Chains A and B, each alone.
Chain A
Amino acid sequence: MTDRAFKAETLAIHAGQIPDAAVGARALPIYQTTSFVFDSAEHAASLFNLQTFGNVYSRLSNPTVAALEERVAALEGGRAAIASASGMAAEAMALMTILQSGDHVVCAGSLYGGTLTMLSVNLAKYGIATTFVDATRPEAFAEAMRPATRAVFAETLGNPSLVVLDIAAVADVAHAHGVPLIVDNTVPSPFLCNPIAHGADIVVHSATKYLGGHGTTLAGVMVESGGFPWGNGKFPGMTQPSPGYHGVIFHETFGDFGFTMRARMETLRVYGAALSPMSAWQILQGIETLPLRMERHCSNALAVAEFLRADPRVGWVNYPGLSDHPQHALLQRQMRGASGLLAFGVKGGPEAGVRFIEAAQFMSHLANIGDTRTLIIHPASTTHRQLDEAQQRSAGVLPDMVRMSVGLEHIDDILWDIDQALAKAGA
């Protein structure tokens, strides 16, 4: 007999949470506690030695947070996951667990601005070099590989460039060099794309976005596939006794979730970007409806893209869900929808774009995506402001670009607000 492979709609509601043993609560209890009692000194010692599984302190693990971790791991088809205080914290946890001074990263150039800065400035400070490459060309990743390369990083659907990553091709490049492919899958969410099925080894999310969906709560998740050969000789931190956790050999002891255990005990425990139980609970309320919401985000965004493309006041539209988008076929091969993010230019340049944003009635001008509400922003003057124009262009940010995260309002009302704001932008 083999176990049933449940589908995403079912996993989104059930994975990671069964009625609790003590009282049988059907919904997930919020374990708002910093600490957990030990049964005995022997029990405490076994927990600290990782000889038994259990909860010690909520910086390391917490039952409410664990439900979120297992749910996202299940939705991604991964082996294990760790939640963190934000999406940036999830990325930092993945990178800092793998990398050390002298290592090198090959990274897509078209990225969320915060990620670009983390690699080009913050990790560079600790002696980790990064080469940024054109994410549309898998061969560009291959050309940038060095002996010291220990990770490849990219977004499955670039924010705000909307570049579609050829996950299988870039995974092949990474694996030919014996290093993992880490992807940020925030924009598609695990409902639209499962990068592990295409060869990715680690998936990170800003759960703040579509996973939560309600724009109330910050959170991040890192998922491990369970398939990467950490014992290939390039990752001594996985195969030698850990100086950071009294001699545990993570790969040997925990097998296909050894990377997650190491990230938890060496990185999350030390740097402390743990997720609060209350926040985990709020994100989980959103995940239960993720499949329904993503379907509507996709259909609304496609309708908006088609409207904008037909409007003479709009110079250009970038939405990979449009059938004439150059990466549309690749997107269809990897994702079951193009998500709710699109970018366009209002004729009249950056000033017209800014006027459009200020003229909106209910579309919100703010720096987030994946909310129920339709959101708009001018990336060049906000999210990517810390980059110069050349860096902005390489990140896929054009001076006149308006980024829109299409929400769940009625499509007629969204198109009405766009139309009236375009009218005012041109005046």
Chain B
Amino acid sequence: MPNDDIATLRRILKSCRTIAVVGLSADWNRPSNFAAKYMQQHGYRVIPVNPRYEAVLGERSYARLEDIPEPVDIVDVFRRSEDVLPIARSALAIGAKCLWQQIGVKNLEADRIARDAGMDSVMDRCVKIEHARLFGGLHWAGVNTGVISAKRAG
């Protein structure tokens, strides 16, 4: 049973500020770069996790989650589903609050590990698209956000 209704996603995206992006590419037109740049522009601190780079999007890149010397709220995973399990264990080890598997990424065992440890867990969704869906921007692209509300936008 997924726990990714609008209220839950809003709470995660409002309470979390630091996102470690595992598998972040330095190529501007790759989806991971699109998503991370968007999150940076919307006030989140993005920490790249990719051994191939020294830095991405102006931030130092780390080889492993365990190397990051500061607290991480969301571990955002741009890797194949079968590679997520050790990342989930690392996310747990560094005290992250949320394991977020990107759109097309869905490892049920990793999801279970995160939930059992009391973390939030989101699968098969894009952090950028969900932020844009719930906080304004995606609506302007004509997308069906599913948001029905009499409260002000924002």
Kindly state whether residue A192 has any CB partner on chain B within 8 Å: no
Question: Contact at B144–A264, with CB atoms within 8 Å?
Answer: no
Question: Contact at A43–B41, with CB atoms within 8 Å?
Answer: yes
Contacts of A2 in B (CB 8 A): 2, 5
Question: Contact at B34–A253, with CB atoms within 8 Å?
Answer: yes
* Chain B 23-76 interface residues, beta-carbon cutoff 8 Å to A: 28-29, 31, 34, 37-38, 41-42
Query: Which of the segments A61-69, A152-160, A171-179 contacts the partner chain?
Result: A61-69
Contacts of A81 in B (CB 8 A): 142, 144
Contacts of B136 in A (CB 8 A): 21, 53
Q: B48 CB to closest chain A CB, in angstroms?
A: 16
Q: A221 CB to closest chain B CB, in angstroms?
A: 9
Given contacts A18-B150, A21-B154, A248-B29, contact A51 B37 (CB under 8 A): yes
Question: Contact at A261–B141, with CB atoms within 8 Å?
Answer: yes
Question: Contact at A73–B153, with CB atoms within 8 Å?
Answer: no
* Chain A 25-74 interface residues, beta-carbon cutoff 8 Å to B: 26, 42-43, 46, 49-55, 61, 63, 66-67, 69-70, 73-74
Please report the total number of B residues contacting A with Cβ < 8 Å.
38
Contacts of B31 in A (CB 8 A): 252-253
Complex formed: what's the CA distance from A247 to B103 in Å? 21
Kindly state whether residue B6 has any CB partner on chain A within 8 Å: yes
Question: Contact at A24–B152, with CB atoms within 8 Å?
Answer: yes
Contacts of B143 in A (CB 8 A): 70, 73, 79-80, 257, 260
Contacts of A80 in B (CB 8 A): 141-144
Which secondary structure dominates chain B's binding surface?
loop
Q: How many A-B residue pairs have CB under 8 A?
A: 115
Q: Which of A4, A70, A252 contacts B142 (CB 8 A)?
A: A70
Kindly state whether residue A346 has any CB partner on chain B within 8 Å: no
Kindly state whether residue B148 has any CB partner on chain A within 8 Å: yes
Q: Which of A1, A78, A255 contacts B129 (CB 8 A)?
A: A255
Complex formed: what's the CA distance from A73 to B147 in Å? 12
User: For B104, B139, B144, B148, which residue has the most chain A Cβ atoms within 10 angstroms?
Assistant: B144
User: For B2, B142, B147, B150, which residue has the most chain A Cβ atoms within 10 angstroms?
Assistant: B142
Contacts of A42 in B (CB 8 A): 41
Question: Contact at B3–A1, with CB atoms within 8 Å?
Answer: yes
* Chain A 371-417 interface residues, beta-carbon cutoff 8 Å to B: none
Given contacts A61-B142, A264-B142, contact A53 B132 (CB under 8 A): yes
Complex formed: what's the CA distance from A18 to B42 in Å? 21
A residues neighboring B (CB under 8 Å): 1-4, 6, 10-11, 14-16, 18-21, 24, 26, 42-43, 46, 49-55, 61, 63, 66-67, 69-70, 73-74, 78-83, 241, 247-249, 252-253, 255, 257, 260-261, 264
The 20 sampled A-B contact pairs (Cβ below 8 Å) are A2-B2, A14-B149, A21-B153, A24-B152, A52-B37, A52-B137, A53-B136, A54-B140, A69-B142, A70-B143, A70-B145, A79-B143, A81-B142, A81-B144, A82-B142, A248-B29, A255-B104, A257-B142, A260-B142, A261-B141
**Extra pairs beyond A16-B139, A78-B144, A80-B142 (6, CB < 8 Å):** A3-B5, A18-B150, A19-B150, A19-B152, A255-B129, A257-B143
